[in-house]
Amino acid sequence: MQKQEKIIEMFDEIAPTYDKANRILSFGVDVSWRKKACAYVLKTHPKNELDIVDVACGTGDMIGIWQMQAKKMTKKILSIKGIDPSRGMLEVAKKKFQGVEFIQSGAQSLPLESDSTDIISISYGIRNVVQRQEALNEFARVLKKGGNLVVLEFTKRDKGGFVAFFRDFYLSKILPFLGALVSKNKSAYEYLPNSIEGFLSKEEFIAELEKSGFKMQYFQSFSFGVSSLFVAQKQ
């Protein structure tokens, strides 16, 4: 089985417990990271009526936050779509949200028209895309000129220091143990720290964004570098 197919199969298996595990393993702080990302983009985007696509949408967490933050900021969402290659994740998402179009597809081949959306978001999913540069090219194709790409991700961590030691200990030892208790799938939560370590640094990922025709607009690091927000604009 190819690497991408194995990753999708893993997410199918943990879909029923995914939301519960996320809240426990992040102590709920991942919600605040998502809120800050959506609030920043909605505040700075010049349009008041927006088409939004959430890629690697999983069970739809980011979609719910887009809707909530848009309502707070009196922005109108004309359409919002959730795209994910995992059937299991989409089945959970469809039960949580009405009036949202969910599409089963990989990030590297979006079944969407060119220049058709204002915002594309992908939260903690880009490191799971094997054909990452192809996916970034697709995001640039689908976005309208001046549109925003919003990426939340666990970037490769700096080594050394007191904080880094405890952060790495949690990710490599405690997180797989707790994840196994909640999901009964230890290997899936051993995959998480390994996938972070195998991902890019901030500078390397920005270089890939620029290669696909994006210009960096905003960067923010959360929780001692555990999570990073990238906001880029299609040129």
Binding residues for S-adenosyl-L-methionine: 59, 84, 123
Residue 35: is it exposed, middle or buried by C-beta count within 10 angstroms (0-12/13-18/19+)?
A: middle
Tell me the C-alpha to C-alpha distance, in Å, between residue 103 and each of 120, 168, 203.
14, 35, 31
Query: DSSP per residue over 180-214, as a string?
Result: HHHHS-HHHHHHHHHHHHTS--HHHHHHHHHHTTE
193 half-sphere exposure, CB direction, 13 A CA radius: 17
Q: Which segments are annotated as binding site?
A: 59, 84, 123
**Cβ atoms of 34 and 65 closer than 8 Å:** yes
